[in-house]
Structure 1
């Protein structure tokens, strides 16, 4: 059971969003897969995972942010080059909780569909490769300032896990890239106001080091994200970009397509395996960030974030392991 629910996190996928333009432009929320043995292949079956994260920035009056990520994983009976094929679907929901008395908002945006190829290398070591896309279904109309939601987001992931003797030692690298140039669609002023977008590509790193003691789990986590130059931006000449591409806001076109900006957080995790399902909770705090805000007194401060996560993992169906063969009778001949 331990490896089953740890490995079930191979597909705990989400759609994250940023509080200010200073944060890295990642669609995959940083830290969404910490605590999970993302590199380990799943036994054949169907798995449900739900992760909820709540984020609060230091900036007074800013909105708290939440993401709920329900995931369904089918670990198929098929293998390619020794890798088990796992199909994934995840329709995340975004929330914004206004701390200044304004209206709270929510939206279902960017269903993820994809697949995972996971190899068991032996000696409790596994590696995996993930590929998929967040579909730009609603064009982020209610979150119009989030330029990464003006297009589909394409995602790749590379992970390695060690799960021997109750340990979960995992490193997971996630790369996001986008359709370029992209543009908000739909009625109203959103398309005209935000114009053409060239969001920065993004690279996330999730790290886990936890240990099981009976049904309990405890350990440390770390995760971060950084902007990368958009893979297509510097291949586009000014002649190929629409007239309104260069504009009045720092998140329009070329400025957004550049590298730089990011954050990294450290924290702790606890978990418990109930047998039929497992739960995890973890809290983390930024130790470095490029986001800043101006205080009422006019001072510039780093805008650190504190985040809390809660996760439930439940195998819905698993194929029973084949029973060991009965021992052959011993025939003695005298």
Structure 2
């Protein structure tokens, strides 16, 4: 993994990431009339939307003088470099060189499949430049469900993406890190009923906390009568996690029922590596406003954003300390079952990616 790359060595041959899959690249509303520069899995890309609505992702480098194409401008036919005006279409082919009729066949840059699905942008990253999608991007029906209202944003981490996975798969930390919003009694969180299962590449973590005090965000959003039965359900896939949390009046129904009542928060969490040591976190939170209360969707979104900023501080500090104490052994405890299972999934997918790569 630490080998020095030659100029011709394919990055996929050494990159420690699962390949041949869709990764979250952002949200529909982020693509306006300007190009957007982002790096995914060590690949610098420029994302853009042409006036007809077509979305595209190209390598962020003009093949002429290497200026990032994200410094250019979006036009009807594609993306124009901001240095000498070379115009690239949505497939990365140069279709115009100002002042020159002949366009060399090598005047092109790599393109990456980019799709919009349920207001989420997905980019396909294969093990070879020729790799093409073998399936459609995942659906996320919550964004189109009239029962829910949602908002979202992104967070940049100066830490590897698996540390973000660990945080989302182990919600016992809520009682210590998020006391002002979605936390609650720390002892209750650490002793919650916990079940971890895995099927193929999907890991599920279910935590139940019956007869508990509603945390501040819950109490502000829903007219509970008193204590609540609370649930946390996490579904991990390598590119994203789905987290369903909420609470209902204690004893009012089956906390395990798929159609349970009460206050719901459904979170979409796209965790995409930027580099080996940094990552993107794209999130939305959806809630079901109570008909007898003022719409508190924005409150839920704002307080969720606050919790993620609290997480970012913790995770960035954790990573800095891991670099300060390299090689130290971490103690495992009972709440690590979900994160440990997910890391095994990622290790297996990385091995599969390398076997699919040239020379793998």
Tell me if both proteins adopt one fold, taking TM over 0.5 as the criterion: no
Larger strand share, 1 or 2: 1
Structure 1 length normalisation: TM-score?
Answer: 0.30
Structure 2 length normalisation: TM-score?
Answer: 0.29
